[in-house]
Structure 1
Amino acid sequence: MMKLKLMVASLIVLTTVISPFSVSASEAEYDPVNTSGEVLCLPGSFYQPKSDCSLLGPSAYLYRMADLGVTFPLHSVAGKVPDPSLTYVDVRYGEVVRQNASVYASLEDAVKKGKVVRKIDSPYSFISYRDEAVVDGKRYYMVDFGGWMTANDISRIGTPSLFQGKAFSQTPERSFGWIS
């Protein structure tokens, strides 16, 4: 049994070493432009094939990309960054998390649980608020037309994005997209 295992192992080794399919060196090297040089072309600022080197490796990649119209380093898209003040939004948003949430006439009424001008009783309601105040460690939000609500009744919803992109005066010469 041991001899049989040894013979099978030897046969496997021999068949992998002596393969009927041999590949010549000229078939192994694929170069659509030039295979005459023995030295690889250095990747650099040229985008034309040279005859004294082989266009393989990084230089082949750069050449293929240049042929597709992509040059390195990549140039930024011509455009201006918009005015940062355009990201300022003076309205924020919140979700009403308690049914029959009270809207008070003033900040003082909200602090003292005084005069209620209306109730928000919808189970799925949202508000916008322009101002907030903290009194005795409790937060209050100014909602529509000067009404105030307690933070216990509201869950704040995120802030607007500060991303602006670019402003263009004409269509860019090549396509682009934003990656975040």
Structure 2
Amino acid sequence: MPASSRVGSRCRVGAGDPVMGGAMASQGTLSWPMTRALATRPNAQAIVDGETCLTYAQWGRRVRGLTAGLRNLGLRTGDVIASIGQNSFRHLECWVGIPAAGMVLNDLNYRLAVRELEFIINDCEARAIVADGAYLEVARQLKQLCPSLECLVYFGTESAPGGWVHWDDLCSATPLDEDHPSSARSPRIRLPPSPTLAARPVGPRA
């Protein structure tokens, strides 16, 4: 979990809790703690990141909107989304919201060289990459090197550069009413590979 974001320490995991209008919590995604808190104490503080403070209700609304926002980009269940960036509440939302939307998160190790990141993305055929301001140029290079990358998403604090979609715009989309298809599958998260590995790291597949 990103160090600069805090989730309420008393939040407990409830197996089989209904997820924000669906059933995906029973599949073991990282939305479990938020789902439980939404049912029991929605107005409690969930995240503190600098000047940003969100209750579970506010955070849950963003994560539910994210599913619709990602689908509005043309992304579908099982698609791989890469992320690269520093700790922030938006990065935490990647870890919770992308798998909860039925997609596969590949959280890239920013210590790797561009050519190594290129290999990972080409291996898993990621369709989108999410990056903050510190790694915009890396993401731009990867867009040129990786044919599968279609969408560029910015999750920094400023306005999105030209040709990019801002993460907050995705999270503000109108949430879907129906249960998400991810309840019927096991969403995945790919942890960053160690830069000390001798072999080339590979990316996740749906």
Higher helix share: 2
TM-score, normalised by the number of residues in structure 1: 0.20
| TM-score normalised over the length of structure 2 | 0.18
Of structures 1 and 2, the one with the larger relative CO (CA 8 A, separation 6+) is 2
